[in-house]
Amino acid sequence: MTDAPRPALSVVVPCFDEEGVFPAFLARMTAVLDRIEGASEIVVVDDGSRDATWRLMAEASARDPRIVAVRLMRNHGHQLALTAGLSICRGERVLIIDADLQDPPELLPDMMARLDAGADVVYGQRRERAGESLFKRLTAAAFYRLIGRMSDVEIPPDTGDFRLVTRRVLDMLLAMPERHRFIRGMVAWVGGRQEPIAYDRAPRAAGESKYPVSKMIRFAADAITGFSVVPLLASMTIGWIMAAVGFAFFVYSIVGWLMHSNLPGWTSLMAAIGLLGGMQFLMLGVIGAYLGRLYDQSKGRPLFLIRDIVGGGR
């Protein structure tokens, strides 16, 4: 029924092993939608969950015609699961929200009002991060500072993907074929009128974080390689410094040779080898990080694979 009129609003929710929180999320989200004018849909994406998430989704979609349940073939990761949902939703406006109730659905009416007033994007900006570990808050702060310095795109700090965007912005986002997606950065890259809306981020309502440190590091690396070439160019800066130091040593050793005062010099040799070796491998790794992503992209595989779509007349 793709020629049916578009709903005024789509809510897109990536879910991975969220059986513990999914019913509570739907209850709070639908209660908010009941108060909003115009038709709406909720596109829930099962990102290869190993628990009962898909069963709960399918049942919910049978009960409530607003709910479209999408199941991916396997776990594709948060950003690609979200992309799958975004590509399927049909609304004139789209709310991106996590399933764990860290982002309050009740903020939606205020966000809608901002779009009514002409904004293209309203993004949630975290005032408090209750229930998040000191480690997570420190690493997040360091990460946003780092990417803020490295990237030409102004990526607002302390944001997640919790945001409301217009269909125009969504279509621009979906036109970007990049595989290693940092969606909050990609939305910022689009431009237009983007406004923050402050909120207190609640602790996760149930279940565990689906972002262990390993995934956080990969996500940060995707963000940096996707939005900056500064790490690639760093080898140039380091190279200049090393060349200057190397030249000084060259002069020093020649002078020493002329004066017949050269010593065996094991310490300086080892220090130089260690330093240069470490630096060279590090820079090779940086090149590898970009090259690997370039390779992934060049294969041109689809970003996600959909197994089922049920509900919402789809």
Assess 100 for contact with Mg ion (CB under 5 A).
yes
Spatial neighbors of 310 by CB under 8 A, at least 6 apart, are 58, 61, 62, 68, 69
Which partner in ligand UDP, Mg ion, none is near 47 (CB below 5 to 8 A by kind)? ligand UDP
- The span from the first CA to the last CA of the chain, in angstroms, equals 7
The dihedral sign for the CA sequence 56, 61, 63, 67? positive
Among 24, 52, 75, 293, binds ligand UDP (CB under 6 A): 75
What are the strands of the beta sheet with 306-310, ordered from one edge?
Answer: 194-201, 121-129, 159-166, 93-96, 9-15, 40-46, 67-72, 306-310
Region 98-157 residues binding ligand UDP, contact defined as CB under 6 A: 98-100, 102
Assess 79 for contact with Mg ion (CB under 5 A).
no
Of the two residues 102 and 125, which places its CB atom closer to Mg ion in the complex? Answer: 102
Region 19-58 residues binding ligand UDP, contact defined as CB under 6 A: 47
Angstrom distance (rounded) from CA 190 to CA 223: 16
Three-state secondary-structure class, residue 186: helix
Assess 78 for contact with ligand UDP (CB under 6 A).
yes
Among 7, 11, 12, 14, binds ligand UDP (CB under 6 A): 14
CA atoms within 13 A on the CB side of 208: 6
Assess 18 for contact with Mg ion (CB under 5 A).
no
Angstrom distance (rounded) from CA 194 to CA 165: 9
Of the two residues 98 and 195, which places its CB atom closer to ligand UDP in the complex? Answer: 98
Assess 102 for contact with Mg ion (CB under 5 A).
yes
Name the minimum Å distance from CB 197 to ligand UDP. 18
Among 209, 237, 253, 297, binds ligand UDP (CB under 6 A): 209
H or E segment and range at residue 159: strand 159-166
The residues that touch ligand UDP, with contacts defined as CB under 6 A, are: 14-16, 18, 47, 75, 77-78, 81, 98-100, 102, 209-211
